[in-house]
């Protein structure tokens, strides 16, 4: 049996045949088992001798089967490795890495500047209630900006926010002073598209409410922000203005980006770059609308156009480029 088994095992070709051979020689109905079963017929003296022999044969066959199995396994592994071999000399595929959109980069930069000044960053929805966007901000019922031609209305009560100022209302209604937040995001106004106008644009809103907040705090905050963003040699000019939700209100001009205030063709010789942001002291009526005591607290707010800043920072002369997602444009940043 042993010789026959060894002979057969040598001629095995694969794992299946090996398993069949195992059953044939060692299985319950196998040849060796038959011998062991027949032991009952043997004499007392023969039994241990034959028994031992049969066990030895069993062990030998098992060993040979296992060795063969191991060889097969190695063979399979080798073939698999050869098949899956990677040719490391083939040139690689270029991995195209994406990057942040210049507008997003600008937004993050602005948020970071304010975070470094102790502001928290909050978010507000682009679909707003008429209440938050106009009413609570003390916007008069007949104000032209409420007109259908300026505002995208969704229905009587909902609209696409026309500025980020409704975030002020949300923050003041949900939190108690002291408050110090900025909020950047999309805003919408019905506008014809040209190189400086788009019906979708971006603003960053800022709001500070606490005891003893004054115009001096507002000016210092804006001045610091401008210098960190554009450089120490940039100055600001506050011009009186009107917003229903701030009183007094101002518009802020910044030194001309081309000549830094000396006067050049870009700024018609004035040295100023116009209307970078609107700001003012939070109107006491607005504080009251939000349940904040105007006798105890005061605050300032500002709103600035992010698209303008991105265009100045990255030397982009057409706002439409920011929204068209032309790869030839985006890949430059
Ligand atoms: N919301 C104003 C605008 O869109 C800007 C502004 C914000 C003015 C906060 C004053 C205070 O023009």
DSSP state of 238: E
Q: Between 169 and 69, whose confidence is greater?
A: 169
**Pocket of ligand 1 contains residue 132 by CB under 6 Å:** no
Q: Is the pLDDT of residue 144 over 80?
A: no
Centre of ligand 1 from the C-alpha of residue 115, in Å: 20
247 known member of a binding site: yes
Residues 289 and 293: their CA atoms lie apart, in Å, by 10
**Pocket of ligand 1 contains residue 301 by CB under 6 Å:** yes
Spatial contact of 171 and 208, defined as CB atoms under 8 Å apart: no
* Percent of the chain predicted with pLDDT > 70: 100
Q: Is the pLDDT of residue 145 over 80?
A: no
Radius of gyration in angstroms for the set of CA atoms belonging to the chain, rounded to a whole number = 41
Contacts of the segment 229-236: beta carbons below 8 A, 24+ positions apart: 229/109, 229/110, 229/113, 229/309, 230/254, 230/255, 230/257, 233/260, 233/261, 234/260, 234/261, 235/261
Q: Is the pLDDT of residue 132 over 90?
A: yes
pLDDT digits (tens, 9 = 90+) for 78-95: 999 888 888 888 888 888
pTM of the prediction?
0.73
* pLDDT at res. 126: 98
Q: Is the pLDDT of residue 26 over 90?
A: no
Centre of ligand 1 from the C-alpha of residue 214, in Å: 18
Q: Going by CA atoms, what residue is nearest to atom 4 of ligand 1?
A: 163
Closest atom of ligand 1 to 278 CA is 8
**Pocket of ligand 1 contains residue 133 by CB under 6 Å:** no
Closest atom of ligand 1 to 168 CA is 9
Centre of ligand 1 from the C-alpha of residue 303, in Å: 4
Q: What are phi and psi of 200, to 5 degrees?
A: -115, 130
Q: Between 201 and 24, whose confidence is greater?
A: 201
Pocket test for ligand 1, best of 169, 245, 275 (most atoms within 8 A of CB): 245
Q: Is the pLDDT of residue 36 over 80?
A: no
Strands (E) in the chain, as ranges, are 120-121, 127-129, 158-160, 179-188, 200-210, 236-243, 246-255, 272-282, 298-305
**Pocket of ligand 1 contains residue 146 by CB under 6 Å:** no
What is the overall mean pLDDT for the chain? 91
Contacts of residue 251, Cβ cutoff 8 Å, sequence gap at least 6: 238, 239, 241, 275, 277, 278, 279
Q: If you average pLDDT over residues 122-136, what whole number do you get?
A: 96
Q: If you average pLDDT over residues 112-125, what whole number do you get?
A: 98
Is residue 314 exposed (0-12), middle (13-18) or buried (19+ Cβ within 10 Å)? middle
Q: Between 297 and 19, whose confidence is greater?
A: 297
ipTM above 0.95, yes or no: yes
Pocket test for ligand 1, best of 171, 187, 274, 278 (most atoms within 8 A of CB): 278
Q: Between 54 and 144, whose confidence is greater?
A: 54
Residues 222 and 237: their CA atoms lie apart, in Å, by 10
Q: If you average pLDDT over residues 1-6, what whole number do you get?
A: 80
pLDDT digits (tens, 9 = 90+) for 64-81: 889 888 988 999 999 998
pLDDT digits (tens, 9 = 90+) for 281-311: 999 999 999 999 999 999 999 999 999 999 9
Residues 161 and 116: their CA atoms lie apart, in Å, by 28
b/e burial code for range 249-283 (CB count within 10 A of at least 16 → b): bbbbbbbbbebbbeeeeebeeebbbeebbbbbbbb
**Pocket of ligand 1 contains residue 279 by CB under 6 Å:** yes
Q: Is the pLDDT of residue 274 over 80?
A: no
């Amino acid at each position: 049996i042993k010789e026959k088994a060894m002979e057969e095992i040598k001629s095995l070709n694969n794992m299946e045949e090996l398993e069949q051979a195992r059953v044939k020689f060692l299985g319950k109905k196998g040849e060796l088992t038959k011998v062991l079963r027949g032991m009952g017929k043997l004499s007392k003296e023969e039994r241990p001798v034959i028994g031992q022999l049969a066990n030895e044969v069993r062990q030998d066959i098992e060993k040979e089967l296992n060795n063969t199995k191991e060889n097969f396994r190695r063979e399979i592994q080798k073939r698999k490795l050869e098949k899956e071999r990677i040719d490391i000399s083939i040139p690689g595929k270029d991995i195209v890495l994406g990057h942040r959109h210049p507008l997003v980069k600008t937004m993050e930069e602005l948020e970071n500047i304010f975070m470094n000044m102790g502001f928290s960053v909050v978010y507000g929805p682009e679909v707003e209630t008429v209440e938050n966007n106009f009413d609570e901000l003390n916007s008069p019922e007949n104000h032209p900006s409420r007109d259908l031609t300026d505002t995208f209305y969704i229905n009587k009560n909902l609209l696409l926010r026309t500025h980020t100022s409704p975030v002020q209302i949300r923050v003041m209604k949900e939190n108690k002073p002291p408050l110090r937040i900025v909020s950047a995001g999309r805003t919408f106004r019905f506008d014809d598209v040209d190189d400086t106008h788009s019906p979708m644009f971006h603003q960053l809103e800022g709001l500070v409410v606490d005891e003893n907040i004054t115009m001096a705090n507002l000016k210092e905050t804006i001045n610091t922000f401008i210098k960190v963003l554009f450089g120490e040699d940039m100055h600001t000019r506050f011009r009186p203005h009107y917003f229903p939700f701030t009183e007094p209100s101002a518009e802020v001009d910044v030194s001309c980006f081309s000549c830094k205030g000396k006067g050049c063709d870009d700024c018609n010789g004035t040295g100023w770059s116009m209307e970078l942001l609107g700001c003012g002291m939070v109107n006491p009526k607005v504080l009251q609308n939000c349940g904040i005591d105007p006798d105890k607290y005061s605050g300032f707010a500002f709103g600035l156009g992010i698209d303008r800043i991105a265009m100045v920072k990255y030397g982009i002369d057409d706002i439409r480029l920011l929204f068209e997602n032309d790869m030839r444009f985006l890949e430059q940043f």
